[in-house]
Structure 1
Amino acid sequence: MMSVYKIYIFLLTYFFLFPVSSYSYGLRFKGSNYSIDKRTSYRVFDKKVPVYNDYFDVQFDMALYPAVEIGYIVDIRGDYNEQAFNLFFDIRGEDVLFRLNQEGKSVLIALPVNKEDMTKNHWFKVKIAFDLKHNEVTLKIHNREKTRSGVYLSNSFKPSIVFGRSEHIIDIPSFAINSLSVNGDKKYIFPLNEAEGESVYDSVGKSYGKVENPEWLINEAFHWKKEYIFSSSSEAGSCYDENNSIIYYFNRDSIFSYNIENGSYEVKKTNGSCPMKLFLASGFFDSVNEKLYVYEVYHEPPYDNNPSIVSLDLKTLEWKIEGMHHLDMQLHHHDSYYDVQNGSYTIFGGFGNMYYSNRFYNLRTGVRDSSLNLKWNEITGLSGDRICPRYFSSVGYSPENNSIYIFGGMGNETGEHIVGKRYLHDLYRVNLKDNQINKLWELNGEPNIVPAHGMTILADSVFYVLQYRESVSRSHLHLYKFSINDGIYNVLGDSIPIISDKIRTNAHLYYNERRKRFFATVQETLDDISSTFTIYSLLYPPVSYSTYEKVKSRNNLPYTLIGGALGIVCVFGLGYIIRNKRKPKKYLNEESCIDELKSSKSVVKKEIEEKEARRTNAVYIFGNFTVYDNKGRDISYMFSLQIKQCFFLILYYSSFEGISSKELSDRLWPDKPKDKVKNSRGVALNHLRSLLNELDGIMLVYEKGFFRFVLSDTFYCDYLRCMELISNKLENPFREEFIKIISRGKFMTFLDNPLFDHFKDDVECKLEVVILEQMRSAFNNNDYHMTINFAKSEFNIDPINEEALSCCIKSYFNLKRENLAIVEYQRFMAEYLKGTGEEYPRPFTDFWC
C-alpha cells in the first residue's frame, strides 16, 4: 500500500508542477467610447517587475475593432522619466499609422501600414524592441519594420508595461491583444487565455499581472452575442452581401441593412412597393450589380399570375420585375448557393404539395429568355449516387474543388410525404466540373435534428452548420463542426433559442473572414406574416463546452492550490485515522450500540439524499436519458441515438468481461458491409470517448479484445445503483431511494430498437419481482402513498397489471382521494383496449366494494 508520505509527495507534484492546458484567445480593451473609469487597463507586471540588461522586447498579436477612435496602445517606462515610451495608433486614409513616442520629447518612429493588408486576417503582429547596449529602438508592425538609433537607454531597464488606460494615458482605442511575451535574459509568455477575473497568468499558471475592466475574448468564442434585432409587420426575407459584409432584411416597402464589420445599420423605404406578392420571400444578393433578387418559386391561386423573380436596385431603391416563370410545386426550406463570379444561383430540395424534392434548379442573372426574363432551369445530366428527396438540408460551395456539398435534412426515398419522413445525417459532394455525385458518408442513430441554411466550408477538410430540433416549439440552435472525410463532429459554443412553430421560421449561418466571426440570423414568425429578425455573432475559432470550462478553471487556480493543501491535510488526517484504527476497540454498552445504530441510519439517509440530489458525473437511464457532466451541465443533447446505444451496450457488458468488437458491430450495424463497419465503429467510439471526457469516474478501456467501462465512486448511474439495490434485500431507507429511481419512468424508453428488447426484458423481469413484492408489503403495512408509487412503477413495465390496479385504487380510497382512483381506472381501461383490442370487463366497483 502506498504510504501517506508518498501520497503527500504525489499531491505536491500534481497541484504545483502540472501546468494547466493553454488556449490563446485574448483580451479586448474598452476604449474611449466608455467613461474613463470603465476603460480597460492591463499592468503586465503587477507585483514584481523584472530587470533587463542589454536587451528586451515586447511582442504581441493585435486586432482592431470597428470603432474609429484613435489613441494609445501601450505605455513602457523605466525608473527614469526620460525613459518613458508609448505606442500611438491613428488612421490615415487607407493606412494605419503607428507612432512610437518618447514621452514628452519626440516621435521616434512613424510607421504607416496598409490597413486592408494588415487586417486581412484580423490579427497582426507587433514588436517593440529595446537594444540597451547599442541605444536602438525597433518597431515592427505586421510586415513592416523600422529602427531608430541614438536613443539614450540605460544598460539596465526595469520596464513597467501597461496596455490601455494608465496613470499617464487615458485616450485609448478599441483593440485586442493576445499571445503576449516579454523577452530578453528573462522570458515571460502570457497567452491571455483567461475567461473571467482580473488576474493574468503566464503559460505555466503563475499570476503576474492585473487587468481592470477586462473583456476576455474566449467568452465571445463560446457565447453567441446578440448583435441586433429588426422586425416587420408584413412578410419579409433576408440575404447576405458577402463582399461588403452586409446582412439585409427586407419586405415589400422597406429594406433593413446591418454592417457586420462596423455594427452600423440603416432602414430605408423603397421607391414603391415590391410588384410581387411575398410568401417565402427567398433572396440572394448580386454584389457585382448591387442588386437584391427576391423570388417565389411557386404561387397559389389567385397569385399564380404574379411575377416570380424581382430585383431591388440598391442605388435607386427601385423594384424591377425580372421573371414570370414558376415551378410546378412549392419548395419550403430548400437550400441554395450563389456563384458570384458566374452570377449563377442554384437551389436544391424543398417540400410542397405533399412531396419532397431532390431536384436542382438554376438561374443566371446574365442569361434571359426571349422575353428578357430570368428563368429557372432544371439541372440534368447528373450521375453517380442518388440523393433522396428532402428538405431542411444545408448546402455549401467549395471553390477549391468546384464542388457543392449537401448535408442532412428530412425526407424519404419515394419523395411522397404520405410515406413518412426520416431524419437524414449524410453528406454528398456534387462535382460541378463533371456533374458527378458522390455520397461521402452517412451517420446512423443521430438525434432528430435538422441543419439550418448556410453550410460554411472554411477548409477542404471541415464544414460548419447550425442544427436544431425543428419539431419542438422552443428549440435551440447548436453549431456543429463536421469532418468532410468521415463525419466525426464536435458541438461548439453555447446555443441560440429559436421558436420553430411555423414553417416560415428559418435560420442562416454566415462567416466573415475579416472579423473572424460566425454570424447567425434567426427569423421567427408566430402568424406566418409578421416576423422578428435577430442577428448573433460568435468569435472564430469557436470552443466546445469542455474547452471553455478548462479555460475558466485557470481562474480558480488559487482555489485549486488551496484545495490541494486541504487535500494534503486530509491525507495526514487519514493516516492518523488509519493508525488509530489499528488500536483495539473498547467494548460498547447496549445504550451506545443503539445510539450508534441511530447515527448509522441517519448517515445512510444523508448519503441517499446526496445521491438523489447528485447532478454531476451522473447518467440516468430510467425515463429520459440524461447526462450531467463534472460541472453539473446537462449534456444529454450531445449523445446521439447511436452513441446512447453504444454507451448502454458497453455499460451492460461491463458487469461481465466486456463486449467484443464483433458483438458491438453486429448489434449496432447488423446490415452494414464489413468494410464500412470498422470506420463506423471507430467514429462512434471516438465520439463516445470525447463525451466521457466531460465526466469524472468513468473511462472506456479496450483489453483482451473487449470494450468495458472502468468506474469509480465519483460516477453515478441510476441503472447500476438500481441493480445494486435489487441484489441486496431492500430495507428502509433504501426502499425510498429505489422508488425514486424507478419513478423517473420506463427503463430505456429512449431505445425502441428490437435488438435491445431482451436487455429491457431482463431488467424489467428483475424489477417486476421486487416492485410487486414491495407494493404488497407497503399495502399490508398501510403505507398507501408508497403503494401507489410502486403500482405506478409497475405500470411502466406492465400497463395492464390488475394487481397493481387493485392496490392503487384501494390506496386512493383509503387516502380519501376517490377522484384519483376513478382517473386511474379510466387510464387502465384505455391501456387495456389499446393492448388487447377489447373492452376491460371488470367494473370499477369490483375494486373498492
Structure 2
Amino acid sequence: MRYFICLVILFSSLSELHADHGLHFKSNEVAKELRTGVDITHKSNISYNTSFSIHFAISFRDSDTHYGDILSLKEINGNKLIQVNFRDPDLFVIYNKRETKFHCNFKELGIQNNRWISFELKIDAKNENLQLLFGDTILNTSIKFPQNSEFALSLGVVNKYGFVIDEVPSISIKDLSIRINGSPKHLWPFRKTDSNLLRDILSSRTAKIYNPDWVVDYHNKWAPLDSFTFSTIPSMAFDSQKEILYFVMNNGDISSYDLRTKQFSTLTVHSGYPSFEKSQQVIINKGEILSYSFNRNRTSSYNFKTHQWSKNKKSSLDDIPKFWHHNKLIHPITKEITTICGYGFYSYYNKIQSFNKESNTWNELKFTGDTIQPRYLASFGSSSKDSNIGYLFGGLGNSLGKQILGKEFYYDLYKIDFKKKCIKKLWNYKCKDDKFQYLPVNTMITDNDSCFYTIMFPALKRNTYLKVVKGFINNSRLVFIGDSIPYDFLDVESFADLYYWKSENKLIALTSHLASDNTYHVNLHSISYAPDEEAELNLDARSLPLSIKIFYSCFALFLLILALIIRKKIRAKHQSEKELVSHVSTFDIEPIISYKIPLVNAILLFGGFQVFDSKSKNISYRFSPTLKELFLLILLYSTENGKGISSRRIQEYLWPDKPESKAKNNRGVNIKKLRSILEDISGLEIIYDNNYWKLTSDDSIFCDLIHITNEIKKFKESGNIEKLEEILQILKRGTLLRDIFPEWLDSFKDKNTGKIVNFLENIVSQADLNTSLRLRISNVIFEFDQMNETALRVKCSLLSSEGKHSLSVETYENYKKLYSKFYNEEYKFSFKDIAKDLTVMH
C-alpha cells in the first residue's frame, strides 16, 4: 500500500522532477546570519526501526570557503550525533564529535567543481553498520546506533543541537530522499519556491529553508565575470586546456586572463610581431598562439619559452581583411590552420581553405555532398565524439555570394567530415516569423553529438543583446534559454564568442566592441552549464533496488488501466449530468458583446504576465525574473501615485543585500536592458523625473489593469452593460499577476483584488440583471475570492431556480470542503440557507 501511495504522489508531482533544480548554499561570501540552511525535521522528527538512509546529489563550487558543515543528524533516544564536514580538500564523517575513518580526498578522487555527485549515508542499527557512498567511493565501518528511535536532520547552517553551526561550504544540493527500513518514505527535489518551506512529494512533510539561493538561477542568469579596455583592437583566443584567454595586439603585445585565478597580466615579448589582421585571426594550437594573414599569406607563432614571435615584420592596421567573421579550426588530419566562409569586399564566401606552411599559400579544400551557401557570422563547433567531424550553424549571406543581391538569414545546420571530405546538410529551421533575424556567435559547444549551444543576437539594431540558444543536431529545433547579455553590434567592429570553462563547468561569453572614445571594450560573462538543462530526476538511483523500480513500472501500468476503467464508469453513470453541465457552461459564458482584448502594444497583468509589441508579437520571454520585477515596480508605482518609484525603494526590493554602489550598477544595467526591450513597444518609455523612475505611455498602449480601473469608474457613472462586458472579459483570465510572488507585490494584489471583488459583489446582487450575466459575475468573483459567500449564494440560488439542482449542490459542497480546509471548522450555513431565493437576502 505504501508503494501505491508513493507512486500516486510521484505521478501527480512529475512537474517537480523536470526542471533544473537544487539549492545553492550561501557560504562565507555573505554574513553569518545570511548563510543557507535547511531544517528537514523542523516540525517533527523522523522515526525508524532498524535502518535508514539519506541520499542526495551534491555539487561543490570554487570559492574561498575551506570549511563547513554539510549535514547534521541527531538520534533522539541515545543522543547520538553524526555530522558530515568539509575541510578542503577532504570530506569527513564525525560521530559524537570524533572523527571516523571516513575520509574522502577530493584531489585523489578527481572531484571537479560544479558537477553533481551522488552522496548517501546509510545507518543499519540492527547490524551495527555505517556506510558512506560518495561518487564511486564506498566506505563501511562499525557503529552502535539505537534501534526503534527517531532522528532530527538538517543541512548547512541550522542551530538546533546545542552548539553553534555557522559555517557551510560552497555547495549545492538536490533530490534529498530518505528510506526507512528499506522503503522510500520522503523526497525533497529542492525546486525553487517563493516560500520558506520545501515540500516532500512523498508525504505531507515540509522542510524549512533559511536564506535560499536557487541553482536554476545560475543556469538562467549570466553573471558578469570581468571587463577590460584596450587602446587598439585585440585579437582574442582561448586556450581550453590552460583556461586562459589571450589578447594579441598589432604591435606584438600579449595580455592574458586566467579564468581560474581571475588574474589579468601582460606577457613578456622580446621581439617579433603577429601576422595581424583585424578579423580575429589568432588560434591556439598545442598551447601555442598562432596568428595568420590572408592578405600576406603568412603565419606567425608566439613561443612561450623564448618570448618571441616567429616573424619580424609588423602588419598594418590599414590592411583590410578579406574574410571578416569567418570560422576557424586546426584541421584534424593535416593540423593546418583551416577557415570556413567569411565576408569581404561586398561578397559572401563559402570557401573552406587551409594554409600550407611549405608553400605559404591558402589552398581551397574540395568536399563532396551538399553545398554550404555563402555566408559569414556563422557558428562552428567540433564534434565531442569524433574530432574529424565539425558542425556549422546559421549565418548571413545569399546563394550567389554578392551583397548587392540582398541578405538572407540562415538557420541551417551542416555536418562537415574532414576525414571523408564530405558535407551533409542535416536540417533547415523554418522560421515562421520573417521578423526573426538573429545571428549566432563564432563558436558553438557540442554536447555528445545530440545537441549544441551557442549564443545569438538580433542583428538589425546596434544596441542589442545576446541570448543562449540550444539546438538539436538530429532535430530542427532551436530553444532560447535564460536571460540576456547587452551587446553593441557594429558589424566588423564588434565580436562575440562562446567558450566552455571545463574546470568550473560553465559557459563563458566574450563580447568586444569599439566604444565612442575609439577604445575597445571587452566584457566576460559566465553561466552554469548546461543552461536550463531539463534533466529527469532518477529517484534514489543508488538506494532503490531494481525490484522496486520494476514494481513501480508495473504498478504505473496497473494504475493507468484502473484509472481508465473508473473514468469510463463515472462517465456512464453521470452522462446526463455532464450534458447538463455542458449546457450550463455554454449558457454561462455567452458574451453580451464580442469584446477582444487588444494584443498590440499591450501589457496584460490579469491571469499572468504578458507583453505584446507593436507588431502583436509576444515578447514576454525577453523579461528575465529581475527585469520583470523591475518593470512591474516602475509600472505599478507609476500607475498608483503618478510619480513612479525612487532608486532607494528599488534597491530595497530587488537588491537589499547589495552595497549601494553594486545596487546602483545592477539598476543601471537592468534599466538599460529594459529600455532596449521597450523600444519595440511604440509609445512606452521609462524616464527619470524628479528623482523617480516613471513609466510614461500614450493612448496607443493598452494595460489591462489601467483599463479595468477606468472602465469600473465609467460603469459606475453610466451603468453601460458593454463596459461591464469588457471588465468581465479581462477579469475571467484570472487574478492579478498570479505567476509572480515577491512580497512587495502582495499589497498591490490585495488592494486591487479588494476593489474588484467589492465592485462585482455590488453588481451581482442586482436583481434587474439577467441570470446569465449574474452567473458569469459570480464565477469571476470566485476566480478572485474562492471563499466569497455572496458569489456562493448567487450561484447556488440561480442554478436552483433554473432547475440545475445537482450543479447547485455540487457548488455548495465544494465550497464547504474548501471552508473546512482553510478555517479548520465546518461551514455554519446549510444548502437550504444558501440556495433560498435571492430576494430574501435583501
TM range (shorter): 0.5 to 0.7
2:126 matches 1:133 = yes
For residues 105 and 232 of structure 2, what CA distance do their matches in structure 1 show? Answer: 49
Residue matched to 2:479 = 490
Residues 1:57 and 2:53 are matched in the alignment: yes
SS of residue in 2 equivalent to 1:133: coil
- C-alpha contact (below 8 Å) 2:37/2:156 kept by paired residues: yes
Matches of residues 562-577 of structure 1 in structure 2 within 5 Å?
none
Whole-angstrom CA distance in 2 between matches of 1:58 and 1:620? 45
For 1:411, give the aligned amino acid: G
1:163 lines up with 2:155 in the alignment? yes
Q: In structure 2, do the counterparts of structure 1 residues 520 and 396 end up closer, same or farther at CA, with 3 Å as the change threshold?
A: same
Alignment of 1:70-109 (within 5 A): 70-72=66-68, 73-79=70-76, 83-91=80-88, 96-109=89-102
- Bigger CA radius of gyration: 1
Shift of 1:331: 0.9
Aligned to 2:256: 257
Aligned residue runs from structure 1 range 613-628, under 5 A: 614=604, 623-627=614-618
Residue 391 of structure 1 is aligned with which of 376, 379, 385?
Answer: 376
Q: Which amino acid aligns with 1:460?
A: D
- Worse-superposed segment, 179-188 or 312-321: 312-321
Query: What is aligned with 1:534?
Result: 523
SS of alignment partner, residue 190 of structure 2: coil
Displacement of 1:26: 1.5
Compute the displacement of 1:190 (Å).
Answer: 1.3
Gaps of 5+ in 1: 1-12, 299-303, 548-577, 583-599, 635-714, 719-730, 738-849
Q: Does 1:467 align with 2:434?
A: no
Is this contact kept in 1: 2:383–2:390, CA < 8 A?
yes
Instruction: Indicate conservation of the 8 Å contact 1:97/1:111, yes or no.
Output: yes
Question: Does 2:179 align with 1:183?
Answer: yes
**Distance of 1:332 and 1:106 partners within structure 2:** 62
Aligned residue type for 1:461: S
Deviation digits for residues 275-298 of structure 1 (CA, Å, limit 9, x no counterpart)? 24855262445363x322233433
Contact 1:453 1:509 in 2 (8 A): yes
Per the TM alignment, residue 389 of structure 1 is displaced from its structure 2 partner at its CA by 1.4
* Residues 727-786 of structure 1: CA deviation (Å, up to 9, x unaligned): xxxx9988xx9xxxxxxxxxxxxxxxxxxxxxxxxxxxxxxxxxxxxxxxxxxxxxxxxx
Which residue of 208, 228, 231 corresponds with 1:230? Answer: 228
- The yes-or-no answer on 1:268 pairing with 2:259 is no
Q: Distance in 1 between matches of 2:284 and 2:42?
A: 53
1:310 to 283, 300, 308: 300
- CA–CA distance in 2 between the matches of 1:274 and 1:81? 75
Q: In 2 relative to 1, CA 466–606 (structure 1 residues): closer, same or farther, beyond 3 Å?
A: closer
Q: Do the aligned residues in 2 keep the contact of 1:230 with 1:533 (CA within 8 Å)? A: yes
Q: 1:719-798 maps to which residues of 2 (within 5 A)?
A: none
What's the counterpart of residue 513 of structure 2? 524
Distance 1:477 1:622 in 2: 19
Alignment partner of 1:413 is 2:399: yes
Alignment of 1:653-672 (within 5 A): none
Displacement after TM superposition at 1:207 (Å)? 5.8
5 Å matches for 1:141-152? 141-149=134-142, 151-152=143-144
2:470 to 474, 481, 506: 481
The aligned counterpart of 1:320 is 310
Aligned residues: 563
Contact 2:83 2:94 in 1 (8 A): yes
Secondary structure (helix, strand or coil) at the match of 2:618 reads strand
Q: Deviations over 1:402-458 (max 9, x none)?
A: 222221111112222222221122222221122112222223445222111102111
Q: Deviations over 1:320-367 (max 9, x none)?
A: 32999999961111112335796443211111112111111224xxx7
- Cα deviation for residue 508 of structure 1 reads 0.8
**TM-fit CA distance, 1:211:** 2.4
Q: Is the 8 A contact 1:121 1:513 kept in 2?
A: no
Distance change (3 Å), C-alpha of 1:293 and 1:162: same
> How far 1:56 moved relative to its partner?
0.9
- Counterparts of 1:557-706 in structure 2 under 5 Å? 614=604, 623-627=614-618
CA distance in 1, matches of 2:368, 2:173: 51
Q: Deviations over 1:812-849 (max 9, x none)?
A: xxxxxxxxxxxxxxxxxxxxxxxxxxxxxxxxxxxxxx
SS in 1 for 2:144: coil
**Cα contact 1:24–1:192 (8 A) shared by 2:** no
CA contact (8 A) 1:24 1:178 kept: no
1:712 alignment partner in structure 2: none
**Which residue of the partner structure matches residue 810 of structure 1?**
none
Mapped partners of 1:313, 1:619: distance in 2: 56
C-alpha spacing 1:481/1:24, structure 2 compared with 1 (3 Å): closer
Asked if the contact 1:195/1:219 (under 8 Å) is kept, the reply is no
Q: Structure 1 residues 518, 431: CA separation in 2 closer, same or farther (over 3 Å shift)?
A: same
TM-score normalised by L of structure 1: 0.59
Flag structure 2 segments of 5+ consecutive residues without an equivalent: 1-7, 537-579, 585-590, 626-703, 708-719, 727-842
SS of 2:242's equivalent? coil
Conserved 8 A contact 2:23-2:213:
yes
d(CA) in 2 for partners of 1:389, 1:407: 12
Distance 2:281 2:597 in 1: 60
Matched to 2:16, the amino acid is S
How many angstroms does 1:160 deviate by? Answer: 2.0
- The code of the aligned residue for 2:110 comes to D
**Structure-1 separation of matches of 2:24 and 2:609:** 37
For 1:30 and 1:268, locate their aligned partners in 2 and report how far apart those are by CA, in whole Å: 34
Tell me the CA shift for residue 483 of structure 1.
2.0
Q: 1:317 to 1:53 in 2, by over 3 A?
A: farther
CA RMSD of aligned residues (A): 4.5
* Structure 1 residue 361 corresponds to structure 2 residue 353: yes
1:101–1:108 Cα contact (<8 Å) kept: no
- Pair 259,385 (structure 1): closer, same or farther in 2 beyond 3 Å: same
2:389 pairs with 393, 397, 403, which one? 403
Could you list the per-position Cα deviations for residues 686-741 of structure 1 after superposition, in whole angstroms to 9, with x for gaps in the alignment?
A: xxxxxxxxxxxxxxxxxxxxxxxxxxxxx99x9xxxxxxxxxxxx9988xx9xxxx
Alpha-carbon spacing, 1:322–1:519, altered in 2? closer, same or farther (3 Å):
farther
Q: CA deviation at 1:179?
A: 1.7
Cα gap change, 1:310 to 1:497, in 2 (>3 Å): same
Report the counterpart of residue 803 of structure 2 in structure 1: none
Measure the CA separation in 2 of the matches of 1:624 and 1:607. 15
CA spacing shift, 1:145–1:287, aligned 2, 3 Å: farther
Q: In the alignment, what sits opposite 1:740?
A: none
Q: Is the 8 A contact 1:281 1:296 kept in 2?
A: no
Q: Within 2, Cα distance between the matches of 1:187 and 1:277?
A: 66
SS at match of 1:454: coil
Preserved contact between residue 282 and residue 295 of structure 1 (Cα < 8 Å): no
What is the letter of the counterpart of residue 32 of structure 1?
N
Bigger mean CA deviation after superposition, 328-337 or 344-353: 328-337
CA distance in 2, matches of 1:284, 1:632: 36
Find the aligned partners of 2:242 and 2:135 in 1 and give their Cα distance: 24
SS at structure 1 position matched to 2:233: coil
SS in 2 for 1:130: strand
Distance 1:77 1:249, change over 3 A: farther
**Using the alignment, how far apart are the partners of 1:362 and 1:606 within structure 2?**
60
Q: Distance in 1 between matches of 2:613 and 2:524?
A: 39
Residues 240 and 384 of structure 1: CA distance in aligned 2, closer, same or farther (over 3 Å): same
Letter in structure 2 aligned against 1:214: P
| Separation (CA, whole Å) in 1 of partners of 2:366 and 2:225 | 44
Residue 345 of structure 1, aligned match among 337, 340, 348 = 337
AA matched with 1:362:
S
